[in-house]
């Protein structure tokens, strides 16, 4: 009996210990208590007050809505079982809502000047909880919305691993649209320190809104990372940077871009320079529209290869009203063996501005000079650019409202896609392509025999 009671006691104490490992800390602008982060009365009153040495892996830092003047930083190495979470608070959060000093007004947008994960850092999640729940409002005339891996800025790149950014808006300053930014310009996400080795790994950018920037994303040293369910739009030549959606140098490997809406990109969209780059780069289920000039570029002249790349089930659309050049175009060059471009819609867009797309098949075109010669590829008539009869609403006058689900005519026209393996068999709404022996739709959304259910995944919020 004593042995049995001892076992129960050990288990009970272990359970208590496990439950007490994770603690809650608090940040509230204007808090005037002890500022030790212990509750809302005694919260840290600025992001710079967060004491990472007092945090344990597994803890949660809750941030009340408000405008903060210091950066949100994360510099701690944790593990998969003990993730450090930094989150905008909501009224439905049990512990924070019960903490001394709670007020429902804390459930509001958090505004910060930038986010920095200097490294070495691992297993940190920064979560806005709702679309644009955390807004990075870049001040001044230069700077980055999100940085990572730059250590103390001393020229030594630091590893960051398993860092998640979700429900965050990155919004640049007015100098971007004025074209007069200074000191390197404005970048939405700049995780490209020193380009030495692939040590920025397992990065996840989810449900983001990145807009009014010179470059939206700049990446180097990335490995096993994902950009998904995000709105990326309104890039400009800000006087310092070209208007890239992505500018990448190698190493950039095992990276996936999926289920994103990309628009108002005038030129230099997804841009890879120098090789070997874009190794195992998967780009699928994205809509790149109301954009002109380069939509995707693998730059010639480096003498090195790109890829393999896998460009599947996307829509590339130029409505002839926006961008530096019409029609739009993609440029493939020096593609590695195994690359493939299949099941894409190219509406007023040519994919062969340089070399033909590699292993192209089952692509749909509106331009008669854009043939890829692949099996299953064909031409169709959009009816009218910007008002294609194949899609619900292309909306060039209000691109945020565009809806590229298929009409009945679109479903019939785009009903003969190439069957591809997982994970390429899921559309952004979660529908399985070709389920039940049905056809595999070309383009982003799978045609259904009944009206689609409400999307299970929403994007960021357009401003």
List, for residues 69-116, the tens digit of each pLDDT value: 999 999 899 999 999 999 999 999 999 999 999 999 999 999 999 999
Contact 239, 180 (CB under 8 A): yes
**Model confidence, pTM:** 0.94
- Confirm whether 229 is domain-assigned: yes
- pLDDT (0 to 100) of residue 390: 97
- Confirm whether 373 is domain-assigned: yes
- Confirm whether 437 is domain-assigned: no
* CATH number of the domain to which 149 belongs: 2.160.20
Taking the C-alpha atoms of residue 198 and residue 206, their distance in angstroms, rounded to an integer, is 21
Residue 14 makes CB contacts below 8 A (sequence gap 6+) with: none
How many structural domains comprise the chain?
Answer: 1
- pLDDT (0 to 100) of residue 453: 58
Residue 85 makes CB contacts below 8 A (sequence gap 6+) with: 59, 60, 61, 124, 125, 127
- Confirm whether 409 is domain-assigned: no
- Confirm whether 51 is domain-assigned: yes
- Confirm whether 375 is domain-assigned: yes
CB-neighbour burial class of residue 155 (10 A; exposed 0-12, middle 13-18, buried 19+): exposed
- pLDDT (0 to 100) of residue 8: 47
- pLDDT (0 to 100) of residue 7: 46
Taking the C-alpha atoms of residue 296 and residue 329, their distance in angstroms, rounded to an integer, is 7
Residue 126 belongs to domain spanning: 23-383
Tokens representing 120? 């070495």
- Confirm whether 197 is domain-assigned: yes
- Confirm whether 313 is domain-assigned: yes
- pLDDT (0 to 100) of residue 297: 95
Residue 304 has pLDDT above 90, yes or no: no
pLDDT tens-place string over residues 260-270: 999 999 999 99
């Amino acid at each position: 009996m004593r042995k049995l009671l001892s076992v129960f006691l050990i288990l009970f104490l272990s359970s208590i210990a496990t439950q007490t490992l994770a603690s809650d800390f608090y940040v509230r602008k204007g808090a005037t208590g002890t500022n030790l982060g212990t509750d809302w009365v005694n919260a840290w009153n600025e992001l710079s007050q967060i004491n990472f040495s007092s945090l344990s892996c597994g803890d949660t830092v809750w941030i009340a809505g408000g405008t903060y003047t210091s950066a949100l930083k994360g510099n701690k190495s944790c593990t998969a079982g003990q993730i450090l979470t930094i989150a905008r608070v909501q009224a439905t959060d049990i512990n924070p809502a019960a903490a001394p000093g709670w007020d429902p007004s804390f459930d509001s947008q958090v505004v910060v000047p930038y986010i920095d994960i200097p490294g070495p850092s691992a297993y940190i999640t920064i979560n806005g909880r709702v679309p644009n729940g955390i807004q990075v409002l870049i001040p001044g005339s230069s700077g980055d919305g999100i940085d990572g891996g730059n250590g103390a800025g001393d020229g030594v790149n630091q590893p960051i691993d398993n860092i998640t950014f979700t429900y965050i808006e990155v919004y640049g300053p007015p100098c971007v649209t004025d074209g007069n930014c200074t000191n390197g310009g404005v970048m939405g996400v700049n995780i490209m320190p020193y380009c030495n080795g692939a040590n920025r790994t397992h990065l996840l950018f989810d449900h983001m809104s990145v807009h009014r920037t010179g470059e939206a994303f700049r990446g180097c040293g990335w490995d096993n990372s994902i950009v998904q369910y995000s709105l990326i739009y309104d890039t400009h030549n800000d006087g310092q940077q070209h208007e890239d959606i992505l500018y990448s140098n190698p190493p950039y490997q095992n990276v996936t871009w999926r289920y994103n809406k990309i628009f108002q990109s005038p030129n230099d969209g997804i841009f890879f320079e120098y090789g070997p780059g874009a190794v195992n780069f998967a780009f699928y289920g994205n809509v790149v529209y109301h954009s002109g000039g380069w939509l995707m570029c693998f730059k010639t002249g480096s003498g090195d290869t790109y890829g393999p790349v896998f460009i599947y089930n996307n829509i590339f659309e130029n409505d002839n009203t926006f961008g530096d050049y019409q029609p739009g175009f993609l440029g493939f060059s020096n593609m590695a063996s195994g690359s493939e471009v299949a099941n894409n819609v190219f509406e007023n867009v040519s994919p062969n501005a340089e070399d033909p797309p590699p292993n192209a098949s089952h692509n749909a075109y509106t331009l008669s000079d854009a043939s890829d010669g692949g099996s299953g590829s064909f031409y169709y008539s959009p009816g009218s650019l910007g008002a294609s009869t194949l899609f619900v609403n292309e909306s060039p006058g209000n691109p945020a409202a565009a809806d590229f689900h298929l009409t009945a005519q679109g479903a019939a026209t785009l009903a003969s896609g190439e069957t591809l393996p997982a994970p390429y068999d899921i559309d952004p709404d979660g529908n399985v392509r070709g389920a039940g022996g049905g056809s595999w739709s070309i383009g982003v959304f799978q045609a259904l025999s009944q009206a689609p259910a409400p999307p299970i995944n929403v994007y960021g919020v357009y401003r």
